[in-house]
Amino acid sequence: MKKFLVLVLSLGVLSLMAFSWGSATHVYIYEQLIKLDAIPNTNAIFGVIAPDVFNYMFTEPELAAYLYDQTHHNFIAVWAEQKNEKDRSLGYGFVAHNDTWGIDFTAHHQAQGLSGSEGYVIAKAEILYGYIGEMLAGYGLDPATGLEICHELIESAIDLMIKRVDPDVPAKLIAAASHADKNFLNLLYRAYGPGLGLTVGLNEAGIKTIIAQNDAGFRYAVTALGNALKKKYPQDVNAVAEQLSMAAQAAFGITVDAGQIAEILMLAMSICPDYLYELTATVGFVGQQLLIYNIVR
């Protein structure tokens, strides 16, 4: 388990599947949504970041891809399995996150405040790559991998800027990871256990072990992010840069100085002066979609 948790912490969201809005940004968007139609609570805050719970299964990419598709596109399965008010809170945030018409849709597929047909994070990552692509190529990274790294840098930059808008967001991340209802594991099992069993050929105990391990690793990673973001500027930038430096070493076997990454994070922030406009537009878009699909608290 310790080895698994270290892998999760170091690799973070360097998988393409994880590229959307960062965890802090998801919390900010959710809390704007609740002003429209919801009740704020720790379970719902955890729910809005929890679809990324399986994104870090780097040693089993095919299984990770299957589970990502389930949590981000078959998200209604979680909503349908709710048994009580805690489940409903978790499920509301979980559904709001989705990549079909939810929060991730504007990051991946269609920005609400930019011209063109790309998601906001993707469009900004392409701009960042224009600045640092040559440097990344010098580390032996192909353009596709370089763009993945730029995606992560944009996400991290926006998470850092969100902390300046809502200084309490790091504490909210830590609280959600620490205190969200452990019945979330049962909710995930009811929603995805049968399909997972058919996919990997495991019995109930084996499936529940996969879910529990990924839940524990995810909570650990979210807590680490919260602890980095709660530092004062510029220590917060440096702390996130340190995590990304470890990730570069673990994922690609390259050594990148954390100070250099911190400078790139500052550049990434400068590329996103319109991020709050995009997030506000995302709130309006997702709030409308939740009502259309009758997902209400």
Domain locations in the chain as residue ranges: 2-292
40 pLDDT tier (thresholds 50, 70, 90): low
Burial-class residue 33 by CB neighbours within 10 Å (0-12, 13-18, 19+): buried
Tokens of 208: 């529940």
Q: Pick the residue with more confidence: 199 or 72?
A: 72
Tokens of 57: 């299964």
Distance CA 68, CA 53 (A): 9
User: Residue 28 has what pLDDT?
Assistant: 94
Residue showing tokens 């709050």 = 276
Whether 22 shows a pLDDT value over 60: the answer reads yes
Span 235-239, average pLDDT: 97
Mean pLDDT of the chain: 89
User: Residue 56 has what pLDDT?
Assistant: 77
Distance CA 291, CA 167 (A): 30
Q: If you count DSSP H runs as helices and E runs as strands, how many of each does the chain have, helices first? A: 15, 0
How many residues are given for the chain? 297
∠73-145-95 over CA atoms, to 5°?
15
For residue 234, say if its preceding peptide bond is cis, omega within 30 degrees of 0. yes
115 pLDDT tier (thresholds 50, 70, 90): confident
Condensed to tens digits (0 to 9), the pLDDT of residues 145-196 reads 999 899 999 999 999 999 999 999 999 999 999 998 888 999 999 999 999 9
Whether 251 shows a pLDDT value over 80: the answer reads no
Residues 6+ apart with CB under 8 A from 81: 87, 91, 187, 190, 191
Burial-class residue 110 by CB neighbours within 10 Å (0-12, 13-18, 19+): middle
Condensed to tens digits (0 to 9), the pLDDT of residues 280-294 reads 999 999 999 999 999
Distance CA 209, CA 252 (A): 28
The pTM for the full model equals 0.89
Whether 128 shows a pLDDT value over 90: the answer reads yes
Residues 6+ apart with CB under 8 A from 145: 136, 252
Distance CA 254, CA 103 (A): 32
User: Residue 6 has what pLDDT?
Assistant: 35
7 pLDDT tier (thresholds 50, 70, 90): very low
Distance CA 26, CA 249 (A): 27
Whether 297 shows a pLDDT value over 70: the answer reads yes
User: Residue 42 has what pLDDT?
Assistant: 87
Identify the helix (H) or strand (E) that includes residue 204: helix 204-229
Q: Pick the residue with more confidence: 116 or 224?
A: 224
User: Residue 4 has what pLDDT?
Assistant: 35
DSSP 8-state symbol, 232: P
Residue showing tokens 């809502």 = 166
Residue showing tokens 């991020």 = 275
**Spatial contact of 247 and 10, defined as CB atoms under 8 Å apart:** yes
For the ranges 34-43, 56-65, 87-96, 283-292, the lowest mean pLDDT is seen at 34-43
Following CA atoms 214, 219, 223, 225 in sequence, which dihedral angle do they give, to the nearest 10 degrees?
50
